[in-house]
Amino acid sequence: MLLLKDDILKVPQVGPKSKTLLGKMNVRNVNDLLYHFPFRYEDRSLVKKISDVKVGEKVTVTAKITSVKNVFTKNRKRITRGVAEDDSGEIQLIWFNMHFIARNIRVGETYLIYGSVESFEKKNTFIVPEMEEIGESNIHLGRIVPIYPTTEGIRTKWIRSRINDLLSMESEVKFLEEFLPKEIIKKQDFPLWQEAIHNIHFPQDFSLLERAKSRLAYEELFIELINASLVERQWKLEAKAFPLNDLKRGQAQQNFMKNIPFELTKDQKQAIGEILQDLKEARPMNRLLEGDVGTGKTIVAIVTALQALIHEKSVLYMAPTEILAQQHFETFLKFLGPLG
């Protein structure tokens, strides 16, 4: 049984050289390969008749190879010339400096052929086309095709084949059990994990691709939030603070609040109350105070700072610029200066 944590060498047709090249892309185990997502897709699903193709198009045709041979041009350049036909006509195929192609292509067999159609010797011609024999599960042509990030020595077609091999080994690979809560999957209309992984690599249509992208993007954020929660939980268990809960000193805080020369809003009072309660605890406070410009965040900070000062503790107040720091200093001085 192949596990997601297993070394990339255990993937079929991945050898030591391929492992080194994949490592340059941070692909080191089975899971890394499954999460090596395409950066774009080419829609090669539209298959045309040969008679309908036009110069300048990128198109796929299904055609039988009637001839293929290596020849020399008038300039003594070696090319491989082929001819393919369907029931509507024929088209020329040309490869430059790829004489091995003539050995690999079988005359009389039907292929999916994809590429740019150009005029060569006054004939419609596929120049250096991609070809794939017709099979039960074509992954390179005749469908939406994933294009992967690569490195020198590894082609996107090779990566595509290796990922397809993995996804085809359902009985031999221990894929992840679904880990998102059922409620989230239902509410967001997400596909299950295995379906999303398959559709991010080999979608049958673009709607399935978009659903897979949404699921996997949510999954990434979900995992980050879980990790953050675990870190916070551990932090709360280990971190210690000085509780600011002296009731006598708290009276000074109440007096200050009464003498603020304006009425605090409901939200300000709530924020101050929750912060002061946090400061009474034996663990450090961990809060984010958020608000638009002019909503009164500074007075909340002043009240919080005062709670530390009246307990004979120090306060560090940071600002992103020197000008802003000076403005805050003047504001703090205005409110706290009279207290000495």
Q: Is residue 73 within 8 Å of residue 95, measured between CB atoms?
A: no
Q: What is the pLDDT of residue 83?
A: 97
CA nearest 59: which of 51, 71, 67, 70? 51
Fold of the CATH domain 247-339: Rossmann fold (3.40.50)
Quick one: average pLDDT of 55-61?
94
Take residue 190 and report the two structure tokens written for it: 């997400």
Average pLDDT over residues 82-108: 94
pLDDT, tens digit (0-9, with 9 covering 90-100), for 150-195: 999 999 999 999 999 999 988 888 888 899 999 999 999 999 999 9
What's the pLDDT score for residue 66? Answer: 97
Q: How far from chain centre, in Å, is Cα 170?
A: 24
pLDDT of residue 250: 67
Q: What confidence tens digit (pLDDT) does each residue in 29-52 have?
A: 999 999 999 999 999 998 999 999
78/98 Cα distance (integer angstroms): 8
HEC sequence for the chain: CEECCCEHHHCCCCCHHHHHHHHCCCCCEHHHHHCCCCCEEEECCCEECHHHCCCCCEEEEEEEEEEEEEEECCCCCEEEEEEEEECCEEEEEEEECCCCHHHHCCCCCEEEEEEEEEEECCEEEEECCEEEECCCCCCCCCCEEEECCCCCCCCHHHHHHHHHHHHCCCCCEECCCCCCCHHHHHHHCCCCHHHHHHHHHCCCCHHHHHHHHHHHHHHHHHHHHHHHHHHHHHHHHHCCCCCCCCHHHHHHHHHHHHCCCCCCCHHHHHHHHHHHHHHCCCCCCCCCCCCCCCCCHHHHHHHHHHHHHCCCCCCCCCCCCHHHHHHHHHHHHHHHHHHC
Rounded to whole angstroms, the Cα distance separating 292 from 303 reads 19
Residues 11, 15, 16, CA angle at the centre, nearest 5°?
Answer: 125
Average pLDDT over residues 322-336: 93
Query: Domain 46-133: what homologous superfamily?
Result: Nucleic acid-binding proteins (2.40.50.140)
Which is nearest to 153 in space by CA: 17, 338, 323? 17
**Measuring CA to CA, how many Å separate 331 from each of 162, 259, 301, 312?**
63, 16, 11, 21
- Residue 309: HSE in the Cβ half-sphere, 13 Å Cα cutoff: 17
With pLDDT > 70 as the criterion, what percentage of the chain qualifies?
A: 98
- One-letter amino acid of 27: V
Q: At what angle do helices 322-336 and 297-309 cross, to 10 degrees?
A: 60
Question: What pLDDT score was predicted for residue 324?
Answer: 93
pLDDT of residue 136: 66
Question: Taking the CA atoms of the chain, what radius of gyration do you get in angstroms?
Answer: 33
Q: Are 193 and 30 in contact (CB under 8 A)?
A: no
The pLDDT, as a whole number, for residue 281 is 87
Q: What type of residue sits at position 12?
A: P
Q: Could you tell me the residue ranges of all domains in the chain?
A: 2-41+148-174, 46-133, 182-237, 247-339
